[in-house]
Structure 1
Amino acid sequence: MDNGTTMHLAVSLFPGTADPTPGAEPEFDRLARFVQKAEAAGLDMVIFADSAPASGGDAANRQMPFEATTLLAALATVTSRIGLVAAASTVAHQPYNLARRFASLDIISHGRTGWNATMTQKPREAANFSRQEGFSSDDFRRRTEEYIGIVQGLWQGWDADALKFDKSGGRFHDPEKMHLLDHKGEFFSVRGPLNVARSPQDTPVLVLSGLSEADMEIAVRTADVILLDDGPTEGAKARYDDLKHRVAACGRDPGAVKLLMSVSLATDATAKPTVADSMEKGFRSKSCDGFNILLPAQLSALADFVDLVLPELRRRGLFRESYRGATLRSHLGLAGGGDQ
């Protein structure tokens, strides 16, 4: 794990990336160029939202134009280092299929994948998946916790050296190194295991967001990264200390969970260095382990951050000069990075 002397930086793309201009650059090409620029800048990861289907009006123009995990698979082929994190709904997907999908993505990307799971129930989403009435808040929380446990259990169903692929000996795997999940819970029943090998970085990174106070106990037990809303430095410091204490109380190393503060940058380019000061203050005061920068998927917005803010952060010794490894876990300084 890292020693916390430099901050971690992620970029989250706003919904509303569609460009309806006739003759505009194809959406995937524009997103690919965005992620490639973020990779050239050495950012830890890019996080892609996934929206519930639009219900009419202008809603379609406020959504990510692709299903997020499909987009991730394509972006993995045009990048080589940056972490790629996709939101995927616990309502729209069964846990076995979602676990299998992210395990496959992690192999395709050589260990650079993460799943952004939200604890917030999205309006209208359940109605598209045979749940017209949705879930009560308490049911949704318990269901999501069970869901996350299943996914993480399936990811750990194969030991690192379990798959032999021994054609001459007729052995696909070592039975002693395969672990059935055999889960029977309140909402799901899943036997396992996955038919996908263990991840190059041990397991994909779990990023949790949309957390209420009641959700934090789930987060400190399960998450690798927690995305937190921005707030006053004094309150943020107390929140950071409390969450790290809760992580330790669960028997985990406090460094095993990275707390990133989500911030929107000012649009005025002259204000971008006021930005570096604010980020430095928050990081040095131990209010967070880094930042999740909220941006529209436009190269100009990313360029402002990369060209004006990032050099200042590096000059102050707050952000690393280059990638230290090849996997997302290695970027984040998490155990199991596979190349540390």
Structure 2
Amino acid sequence: MHLAVSLNIASGQQLAFSDLADFAKQAEAAGLDMIVLNDSVSDGSGSSPFEATTLLAALATVTSRIGLVAAASTVAHQPYNLARRFASLDIISRGRAGWHATLAQAPREAANFSRPEVFSADDFRRRAEEYIGVVQGLWQGWDADALLFDKEGGRFHDPDKMHLLDHKGEFFSVRGPLNVARSPQDTPVLVLSHVSEAGRDIAARTADVILLDGPVGEAKARHDDLKRRVAVCGRDPDAVKLLLSVGADVTADTLDASFRSKSCDGFNIAMPPSTLEGFFDRVLPELRRRGLVHQDYRGTTLRARLGLAGGDQ
């Protein structure tokens, strides 16, 4: 059972970086797979008091094993800059970084970035898929052994192992490559959320992790449908991990039943930090007692922790 925790800050709650660092250390000590750092570029609701990728870099210096996944909007950032930022964060964190993207628009986001109107739902999905493809293509622009740093031979890199993206699409034109080395875990982990029926094929083609919202009772149907779509895309169904988002009333029995029914590959615990102590103290020890959760960190990268391709095993 994989476990993530979303850093949800209650409205009006003031937290210093030291508070967030303590929270990250506590989550790491508990053996959770990753922390999802939410963000908002419109009204600040449901976000941390810091920009998410900046916070990821800071938390990487006070943790050493837990995965750190930061939200970043496809509207607020150009794909080249975002790809470069997360490639850098993955090196800084030694292979523990991930990008949380959403397939739903923030209602007031466009107004902050010189867009008088939001995209239509279809345009937003097509643009988001193209954006994700550009970012993932840039991440794969350098082979793992492309950078030679050969001073005597005067060769910085092997040109045969550098791949120009040269993307010209409906919404973006990006040449590439990145001026950042290949990720320690092949590519940073891509986490998608707010995946509607219309966006499920996009998620099946691109995501490493999907956060499932909605009623627990409907999770099995969503899980089976997404795994089927992943297979139709030619991917191994286990190549995408489906984490069911659950809130403050969660119990070990509820998680046990959902997991054993194969409704998900694990859970995203979406609670304010102030209420997580009960989960760490009561629910998590019971899950360990039942053999559903392991506290030890296997491998050094987030991909390895999640059992995804590209991570050291």
Task: Specify if TM > 0.5.
Answer: yes
Whether 2:229 is the aligned partner of 1:246: answer yes
| Equivalent position to 1:329, from 293, 303, 312 | 303
Among 7, 10, 18, the alignment partner of 2:4 is 10
Structure 2 match to 1:120: 104
**How far apart are residue 232 of structure 1 and its match?**
4.1
Q: Hey, what's the Cα distance between the residues in 1 that align with 2:45 and 2:70? A: 19
Counterparts of residues 184-199 of structure 1 (less than 5 Å): 184-199=168-183
CA–CA separation in structure 2 for the residues paired with 1:76 and 1:18: 26
Correspondence list, 1:164-313, <5 A: 164-233=148-217, 235-266=218-249, 275-298=251-274, 301-313=275-287
SS at match of 2:228: helix
| DSSP 3-state at the match of 1:198 | coil
CA contact (8 A) 1:19 1:27 kept: no
Determine whether 1:52 maps to 2:41. yes
**Shift in Å at residue 123 of structure 1?**
1.4
Q: Which residue identity does 1:106 align to in structure 2?
A: D
1:302 Cα deviation from its structure 2 partner: 2.2
Gaps of 5+ in 1: 1-6, 21-25, 55-59, 267-271
Normalised by the length of structure 2, the TM-score is 0.97
2:23 aligns with: 34
Distance in 2 (alpha carbons) for counterparts of 1:225 and 1:61: 24
Would you say the 8 A contact 2:212–2:219 is kept in 1? no
Number of the residue aligned with 2:59: 75
2:123 is equivalent to residue 149 of structure 1: no
Task: Give the conservation status (yes or no) of the 8 Å contact 2:167–2:175.
Answer: yes
1:304 Cα deviation after fit: 1.1
Please state how far the C-alpha of 1:128 moved relative to its aligned partner: 1.0
Check the 8 A contact 1:18/1:63 in 2, yes or no: no
CA distance in 2 between partners of 1:160 and 1:205 (Å): 17
Give the 3-state SS of the residue equivalent to 1:100 in structure 2: helix
Q: Report if the CA contact (8 A) 1:17-1:64 is conserved.
A: no
**Does structure 2 retain, via aligned residues, the 8 Å contact 1:38–1:302?**
no
Cα-to-partner distance string for 1:45-71 (whole Å, 9 max, x where unaligned): 0001111233xxxxx575421110000
Q: 1:174 and 1:131 mapped to 2: Cα distance?
A: 41
Q: Separation in 2 of the partners of 1:316 and 1:8?
A: 14
Moved over 3 A (4+): 15-20, 60-63
Specify the SS of the correspondent of 1:116: strand
Q: In structure 2, what residue type is equivalent to 1:296?
A: P
| Alpha-carbon distance in structure 2 between the residues aligned to 1:90 and 1:61 | 18
Count of residue pairs brought into register by the alignment: 313
Question: Residue in 1 aligned with 2:75?
Answer: 91
| Structure 1 residue 134: Cα displacement | 2.0
**1:45–1:131 distance in 2 versus 1, CA, 3 Å:** same
CA contact (8 A) 2:38 2:46 kept: no
Q: Distance in 2 between matches of 1:103 and 1:204?
A: 7
Question: Is the Cα contact below 8 Å between 1:17 and 1:297 reproduced in 2?
Answer: no
SS at match of 2:101: strand
Question: 8 Å contact 2:207–2:240 — kept in the other structure?
Answer: yes
Distance 1:73 1:188 in 2: 27
The question of whether the paired residues in 2 share the 8 Å contact of 1:16 and 1:64 is answered with no
> CA–CA distance in 1 between the matches of 2:29 and 2:284?
12
Q: 1:168 offset after TM fit, Å?
A: 2.2
**What are structure 2's unaligned runs of at least 5 residues?**
none
Deviations 1:161-183 (A, max 9, x none): 00111222221110000000000
| Equivalent pair of 2:142/2:163 in contact (CA under 8 Å) | yes
Q: CA offset at residue 238 of structure 1? A: 2.2
In the superposition, the TM-score normalised over structure 1's length comes to 0.89
SS at match of 2:69: strand
One-letter identity of the residue aligned with 1:92: A
